[in-house]
Amino acid sequence: MTKKATVTVSCDLLNELLCAQNKIIVNYKINKGKHIYCGRWNEEINDLIETYNQVAEILNIEKMKLIPNN
């Protein structure tokens, strides 16, 4: 069985990560509109959301919500 490593990360670094991600999101919003289709094909966006939500969980802030297509 593999042991899980414990990792310590600076809160300032996490804040910088979220700020950088927010800039990407704002850019997408400006260029693509209010919602972005994040189908399975769009790994870049899905990775961004997953990373953001993991950091949000660590910092105990609101996670991004996915809006299902009807």
pLDDT digits (tens, 9 = 90+) for 41-59: 667 777 777 887 887 787 7
| Per-residue pLDDT at 59 | 74
Query: Residue 70 pLDDT > 60, yes or no?
Result: no
Residue 68 clears pLDDT 70, i.e. is over it: no
Q: Which residue range forms the structural domain that includes residue 21?
A: 11-59
Provide the token pair at 44: 């870049």
64 occurs within a structural domain: no
Per-residue pLDDT tens digits for 2-36 = 666 666 777 787 778 878 878 877 887 788 777 76
Domain count for the chain: 1
Instruction: Classify residue 70: in a domain, yes or no.
Output: no
> How many contiguous H segments (helices) and E segments (strands) does the chain have?
2, 0
